[in-house]
Copies of this chain bind each other. A is one copy, B any other.
């Protein structure tokens, strides 16, 4: 497939994401999408593996219940063959506490027949947890194990 052919779809996906237009976002996702955003699902239940469009939509609803997304800035967007990669800065407020978060997220995706069929997300989850609880996490023993010289 020539490069550029999926670019309009990718741009539509991220324009809809930035506009928090979940209906439009989900309309660009394939029914049997393979979706994985790694992170601590005990803390953030909207993370983790989701199979199929309905499960992804439920994830978006879960995010909306917990977080008010106040900013969505695509810092880099690459398209190459059937793949896209986006580096995104998301600002949000934790509804339960009013705490403000700023999170950098990367998304690697594949598109087929005009729809997103695979998503792999990575985010700075340790920082996200610390911002959520509003203070540094205690990491007992890590200093001796990794950071001591």
Interface residues of A (CB under 8 A from B): 3, 38-40, 42-45, 65-67, 75-76, 78-81, 83-85, 87, 94, 96-97, 99, 104-106, 108, 120, 122-129, 132-133, 136-149
In the assembled complex, the Cα of A76 lies from the Cα of B78 at a distance in Å of 12
| Shortest Cβ-Cβ A-B pairs, 4 listed | A85-B85, A125-B126, A78-B80, A106-B106
Q: Output the nearest chain B residue to A128 by Cβ-Cβ distance.
A: B126
Q: Which residues of B contact A133 (CB under 8 A)?
A: 139-142, 145
Q: Which residues of B contact A106 (CB under 8 A)?
A: 85, 87, 106, 108, 122
Q: Output the nearest chain B residue to A138 by Cβ-Cβ distance.
A: B138
In the assembled complex, the Cα of A67 lies from the Cα of B123 at a distance in Å of 22
